[in-house]
Copies of this chain bind each other. A is one copy, B any other.
Amino acid sequence: MFSFRNDYSTGAHPAVLDALCRTNGERTEGYGLDLLCRQAEEELLELCRAPGAAVHFLVGGTQANKVTIAALLRPYEAVLAAHTAHICCHETGAVEHNGHKVLHLPSPDGKLTADMVRAAAAAHTGEYTVAPRLVYISNTTEVGTVYRRAELAALRRVCDELDLLLYCDGARLGSAMAAGDASFADYGALCDAFTVGGTKNGLLFGEALVIVNPALQPGFRRCMKQQGAILAKGRLLGVQFSAILQDGLYLSLAAQANRLARRLAEGLEDLGVPLLFPAQSNQLFPVLPDSVAEALEGEVSFELQERLEGSRSCIRLVTAWDTAQEEVDGLLALLGRLLQ
């Protein structure tokens, strides 16, 4: 069965797995205080050109978002996020569980703009409202769109203007960097904090959090520990990140996934299948007649995004670093038959 369900269905890229096997017998400090983590940290900071930043390795994306946001905010401070954001609808209220309201800003394409941020801030000035303090974006977004550098810079400016923090959830940062024009160094320059996602781009698991803003760094490891987010054998995270950052592997895996998504998007266009969101990265959202979507289910693994009126369904198709071109072509051929 072809799988377009997500980008974390398999294990690790061979280079990552090799590194884990190679270092398996080494005895190291626990809790990420080992040299393997330090090395990965240095490599990452060099890529980000942010020598004063702090790096922390976390196991998963929800954990990274939850711990980071709670560490950065005072109790009454709130988060601004697009209504499609992972923290709004895919983390079982993790941010609220730590006491912070997330203000859902309706967004047509999963992205926030400076104007949206400004309007939300202006609407929350009274003592009886939460105080917006952190702008949460994800890049790529949950609907596959990509912030470009100019858009990130505009958000940075509005954050500076309004004394807000800019945090980027980079669960798919590789895909965003491969698809857009913002580099590691741009994130290091524009964000207060951001994550570099490993789980969806070749690791067994792992997200690297980069806290650029020095004022936000103190006490973070205690926040992690308190929330169960320090891995005993922390070196597993350092080893994996070091492996994936070698020789541009992180970006090339993401580029490969994007390339196949592009091929898929073109094929869908040829078939006259509309997309609910622009095809910019490794997630596509085609709109199909319900009958076709149902017929597809037995043959292809994917997720339903949303039922639409007119007996249509939007489905989500995701390519990964290990998607085979044959899968893309096979899916297109299958769709071609079903749509006749």
Give chain A's interface residues, CB within 8 Å of chain B: 3, 6, 8-12, 17, 20-21, 23-31, 59-67, 70-71, 74-76, 78, 89-94, 96-102, 104, 127-131, 199-200, 204-205, 219, 221-223, 225-233, 236, 301, 322
Contact = CB atoms under 8 A, between A and B. Distances in A.
A9 B27 contact: yes
Contacts of A17: 20-21, 24
Contact of A128 (B21, B200, B225, B231): B225
Contacts of A71: 74-75
A129 B62 CA distance: 12
Contact of A8 (B23, B200, B226, B232): B232
Contact of A75 (B12, B21, B70, B204): B70
Contacts of A29: 9
Given A30-B8, A93-B130, A228 B225 contact: no
A20 B19 CA distance: 13
Contacts of A63: 228-229
Contacts of A227: 66, 94, 97, 227-228
A66 B228 contact: yes
Contacts of A228: 60, 62-67, 91, 94, 227-229
Contacts of A90: 128-129
Contact of A93 (B78, B231, B232, B301): B78
A272 B14 CA distance: 52
Q: Which of A17, A76, A78, A131 has the most CB of B within 10 A?
A: A76
B127 A199 contact: no
Given A92-B129, A130-B93, A131-B222, A30 B6 contact: yes
A60 B94 CA distance: 18
B11 A91 contact: no
Contact of A232 (B21, B23, B61): B61
A59 B62 contact: no
A101 B96 contact: yes
Given A59-B59, A129-B89, A232-B61, A226 B76 contact: yes
A29 to B, nearest CB: 8
12 contacts: A9-B27, A59-B59, A71-B74, A75-B97, A76-B93, A76-B222, A92-B225, A93-B226, A96-B100, A97-B226, A127-B222, A204-B236
Contacts of A25: 10-11, 322
B10 A131 contact: no
Q: Which of A96, A102, A228 has the most CB of B within 10 A?
A: A228
A258 to B, nearest CB: 20
Closest 9 CB pairs of A and B: A63-B228, A11-B24, A76-B222, A93-B101, A92-B226, A93-B130, A92-B225, A9-B27, A96-B101
